[in-house]
Structure 1
């Protein structure tokens, strides 16, 4: 059984890298929009009895979901043996409970939708908080891979004397793992969220780490308010300009630029979402999981 790797729009670079790692063929398809905004999908490759890998990271998911749904179902109708989704960033994970009356638990609804669309899912560091395992949400085999080892390898290779800083208590387990793998000390701060774009972060205790480079690590950088406030604290506490690392470069409009303007020496992300800050590659990590 051959493996065919298809890129949905915007995912061409990652799909090409995965095809090389997997020694797989690139699938050919036409995906476009009609003038009325509806999606058109046509698969040109022969997928009969083949393993189809659809590469589609799911930031800004609402505009991506229908083409993905149509691609997966077209592949199944054309006789694909298995349809796998590689979604390095997985959307709709943070609404994991009803916070206010009348809300929906959209993480569960989204999981139901994807579970009925593809046969298997691969993602990286999804925001698992109240749900602790992917199988609590997904009815298909869904593998959550972890970027901690490759983030730690980047830190070891590029930062001479790091002190890792996590933004809140939720980050403790993840930041401690990266720190352990990078042979570096770490601190975890307390964060209070006041709104979608406003947070309060406690000051880190930097007295013992004046010669260390602060490395702020988080899974998602969206508005960047947490990192911006932490960077502003650090400017008053240490002479070393901080480096900011995020797994997923979600970045609301202007957030990346604001983080650099706040005083970050460097902003580095994994290539789970295409962005100018991508400096840590997840290609081999994903390929290894797909092979096994």
Structure 2
């Protein structure tokens, strides 16, 4: 039977996946020495078993060494296979060299993970210039989509929604969610001036007067894109929108920025945050069963 082990901060998600799949949760002591180096101690028997490490990678740099060490530790203790469940997969945006001398970190990160894991399950990774994860990951990799879950939330909680994508990259989310929610959608355009400086140009919304705006995107980071889009929506006489996203990264001040504009923010539990209202455990459980096959249920 599959054994789940949560990296620090992922205990709630691991418990939800375990409950959904009727799997066990293993124990791993993880802490830091006074000098900041990682200490790991495996407290479960893993010999001959398939193991899934649960670790969303919203803040990857402080986590990645312990995660790689944990994967190696499991293999050294006889694990049949070690899979990674990372609902948010980091280092996907640097998918080409925009300037001379830049590191292509998406490929570097993929190589590191592929060297120690036997499989990867993630949700809505940033596949903008890559067609699939297999272009950079050499292990079986599943990219799930949370769009049906976001659409279901919008359908159940928003009366007469108008789905809006804040920029061209969000059209895939907006169209999929709108189709599933049986709602109209439109997409704004965006010009990025810097990491926190964006300009959103809104389309004319009066044709959908009376509908409630729902801004949808894959990631909320600085919040600037959604905030500028929200201002444009309110300027056209609509109420502040609901902001619906898969991954709520929320850099400092982002949630306060959106709340200050009157926006209700809703995210999945891919990244732990007070805005989590859409659980992904059933989706992740189904993907693990499909990826591992009989190994997910085999007893030792």
TM range (shorter): over 0.9
Q: 1:36 corresponds to which residue? A: 35
Runs of 4+ in 1 over 3 A off after TM superposition: none
Q: For each residue in 1:32-85, what CA deviation from the matched residue of structure 2 results, as whole angstroms up to 9, or x when unmatched?
A: 101111101111100001010100000110110011111100100111011010
Greater relative contact order structure (CA < 8 Å, 6+ sep): 2
Q: Cα offset for 1:150?
A: 0.5
Q: 2:287 corresponds to which residue? A: 289
Q: Cα offset for 1:241?
A: 2.5
Return the alpha-carbon distance in structure 2 between the equivalents of residues 126 and 223 of structure 1. Answer: 18
Residue 116 of structure 1 aligns to a residue whose secondary structure is helix
Contact 1:210 1:240 in 2 (8 A): no
Return the alpha-carbon distance in structure 2 between the equivalents of residues 205 and 118 of structure 1. Answer: 48
Q: Between Structure 1 and Structure 2, how many residues are aligned? A: 290
Q: 1:57 corresponds to which residue? A: 56
Q: 1:272 corresponds to which residue? A: 270
Q: 1:75 corresponds to which residue? A: 74
Residue 284 of structure 1 aligns to a residue whose secondary structure is helix
Q: Cα offset for 1:146?
A: 0.2
Contact 2:240 2:261 in 1 (8 A): no
Q: Cα offset for 1:170?
A: 1.6
Q: Cα offset for 1:237?
A: 0.7
Contact 1:204 1:234 in 2 (8 A): no
Q: For each residue in 1:74-125, what CA deviation from the matched residue of structure 2 results, as whole angstroms up to 9, or x when unmatched?
A: 1001110110100000000000111111101100000000001211000000
Q: 2:298 corresponds to which residue? A: none
Q: 2:296 corresponds to which residue? A: none
Q: 1:177 corresponds to which residue? A: 176
1:91-240 paired onto structure 2 within 5 Å: 91-240=90-239
Moved more, 6-15 or 202-211: 202-211
Return the alpha-carbon distance in structure 2 between the equivalents of residues 238 and 244 of structure 1. Answer: 17
Residue 122 of structure 1 aligns to a residue whose secondary structure is strand
Return the alpha-carbon distance in structure 1 between the equivalents of residues 171 and 58 of structure 2. Answer: 25
Q: Is 1:250 paired with 2:249?
A: yes
Return the alpha-carbon distance in structure 2 between the equivalents of residues 282 and 80 of structure 1. Answer: 26
Return the alpha-carbon distance in structure 2 between the equivalents of residues 267 and 174 of structure 1. Answer: 16
Q: CA RMSD in A?
A: 0.8
Return the alpha-carbon distance in structure 2 between the equivalents of residues 239 and 202 of structure 1. Answer: 16
Q: Cα offset for 1:239?
A: 3.4
Residue 144 of structure 1 aligns to a residue whose secondary structure is strand
Q: 1:10 corresponds to which residue? A: 9
Return the alpha-carbon distance in structure 1 between the equivalents of residues 238 and 66 of structure 2. Answer: 49
Contact 2:164 2:174 in 1 (8 A): yes
Return the alpha-carbon distance in structure 2 between the equivalents of residues 166 and 137 of structure 1. Answer: 28
Q: Cα offset for 1:169?
A: 1.3
Q: Cα offset for 1:13?
A: 0.2
Can you give the 5+ residue segments of structure 1 that lack an aligned partner in the other structure? none
Residue 63 of structure 1 aligns to a residue whose secondary structure is coil
Return the alpha-carbon distance in structure 1 between the equivalents of residues 20 and 260 of structure 2. Answer: 37
Return the alpha-carbon distance in structure 1 between the equivalents of residues 197 and 116 of structure 2. Answer: 36
TM-score (norm 2): 0.95
Return the alpha-carbon distance in structure 2 between the equivalents of residues 12 and 219 of structure 1. Answer: 23
Return the alpha-carbon distance in structure 1 between the equivalents of residues 202 and 86 of structure 2. Answer: 35
